[in-house]
């Protein structure tokens, strides 16, 4: 004889199974929405980064070199161009007020104010994003000692640097931006990809000759 308890157990199991199916469906929908929103956010940033870099390229092509001498740059000003052959990077650089100046950092590679300018004695510090906006330093960790970094200043002069070391440091290790007695360059970006827990730092010294790059620096020619 079938009892009431025996009848209710299968019904209970069916109800639980139905609830679990609904929960799984809701979690799947939430995951799809989250991935879609994240993808849309990155795409929007990439498009905005490309747009800003295109505007800077147009300004660079029409830039009239100032007379040689002391030039004062304000945040947002174009200060030159950076070319890293190994990365396929060729981008306009702007001036940024400090490491917290996200507005100008989002435009592309950005030179940190009060550090040496391209070719000058001292430490020329340049920051860039790895995974957002135009992602100029996406593959920065692929550089090795001996690789070339070329900086073109607003006068059209080219300055070649040779990579000497790659460091992984903490975000508060600001000593990497300290002045140096020789003309040097320091490239800084977040590390690892999609994280800001560390910083990757690429250091290089000014080479005697600018490595084999031809062009006047005004048209954005690649190697």
Alpha-carbon distances, residue 43 vs 36, 107, 144, 150, 217 (angstroms)? 10, 15, 30, 29, 30
In this structure, of 21-30, 35-44, 108-117, 185-194, the range with the lowest mean pLDDT score is 35-44
CATH 2.40.260.10 fits 1-223, yes or no: yes
Q: Please state the pTM of the whole predicted model.
A: 0.77
pLDDT of residue 215: 41
pLDDT of residue 213: 47
Q: Cβ(134)–Cβ(91) under 8 Å?
A: yes
Task: State mean pLDDT over 149-167.
Answer: 95
As beta bridge partners, residue 206 has 161
Q: Where are the alpha helices (DSSP H) in the chain?
A: 4-61, 102-105
E strand residue ranges, 109-157: 110-112, 122-127, 148-153
pLDDT of residue 219: 40
pLDDT of residue 159: 96
Give pLDDT tens digits for 198-209.
Answer: 999 999 999 977
pLDDT of residue 209: 72
Give pLDDT tens digits for 14-32.
Answer: 777 777 887 888 788 877 7
Q: Cβ(153)–Cβ(77) under 8 Å?
A: no
Task: State mean pLDDT over 178-189.
Answer: 97
Across the chain, mean pLDDT equals: 85
Task: State mean pLDDT over 166-178.
Answer: 97
Residue with the bigger pLDDT between 140 and 25: it is 140
Q: Identify the band that residue 45 occupies on the pLDDT scale cut at 50, 70 and 90.
A: low
pLDDT of residue 5: 52
In this structure, of 157-166, 172-181, 213-222, the range with the lowest mean pLDDT score is 213-222
């Amino acid at each position: 004889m079938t009892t009431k308890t025996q009848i209710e157990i299968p019904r209970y199991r069916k109800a639980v199974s139905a609830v679990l199916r609904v929960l799984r469906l809701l979690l799947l929908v939430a995951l799809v929405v989250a991935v879609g929103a994240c993808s849309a956010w990155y795409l929007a940033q990439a498009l905005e980064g490309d747009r800003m870099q295109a505007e800077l390229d147009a300004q660079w092509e029409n830039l009239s070199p100032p007379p040689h001498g002391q030039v004062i740059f304000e945040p947002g000003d174009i200060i030159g161009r950076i070319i890293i052959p190994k990365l396929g990077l060729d981008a306009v650089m702007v001036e940024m007020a400090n490491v917290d100046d996200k507005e100008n950092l989002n435009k592309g590679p950005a030179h940190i104010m009060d550090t040496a300018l391209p070719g000058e004695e001292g430490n020329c510090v340049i920051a860039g994003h790895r995974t957002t906006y135009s992602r100029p330093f996406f593959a920065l960790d692929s550089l090795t000692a001996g690789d070339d970094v070329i900086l073109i200043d607003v006068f059209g002069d080219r300055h070649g640097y040779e990579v000497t070391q790659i460091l992984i440091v903490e975000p508060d290790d600001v000593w990497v931006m300290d002045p140096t007695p020789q003309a040097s360059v320091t490239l800084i970006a977040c590390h690892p990809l999609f994280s800001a827990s560390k910083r990757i730092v690429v250091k290089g010294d000014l080479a005697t000759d600018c490595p084999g790059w031809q062009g006047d620096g005004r048209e954005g020619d690649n190697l």
